Amino acid sequence: IVPDVSLLEDGPVEPREDWRAELGIIGPLLLYVGNLEVYQGIDLLLDSFAVARREVAADLVITGGTDADIQKYRDKSAALAIADH
């Protein structure tokens, strides 16, 4: 077991009870939880997911990171035409 150490400030976090219901996901769901640092390979994950979406109707949920990181990867997801998935 390798515990992850958050780089985010401590604060209240609302628990997510049901990602599928909340996001309207019906099929397979892939989930990444992390801090979105460059070494985590999120660019490769998004590029790979864009290729996989051509063959499999799945959804990817990524949670974590700073506001700047989140925006960066939202922009990349839009450019890859996977933002809705």
Give 61: exposed, middle or buried? Use CB within 10 Å, 0-12, 13-18, 19+: middle
| pTM strictly above 0.85 | no
Give 21: exposed, middle or buried? Use CB within 10 Å, 0-12, 13-18, 19+: exposed
DSSP state of 26: -
Mean pLDDT of 62-74: 92
pLDDT in tens, 5-63: 666 666 666 666 787 888 888 888 888 988 898 899 999 999 999 999 999 999 999 98
Mean pLDDT of 69-75: 95
pLDDT at residue number 8? 66
State the chain's maximal CA–CA distance in angstroms.
Answer: 40
Which ranges constitute the DSSP H helices of 10-79?
A: 19-23, 42-52, 67-79
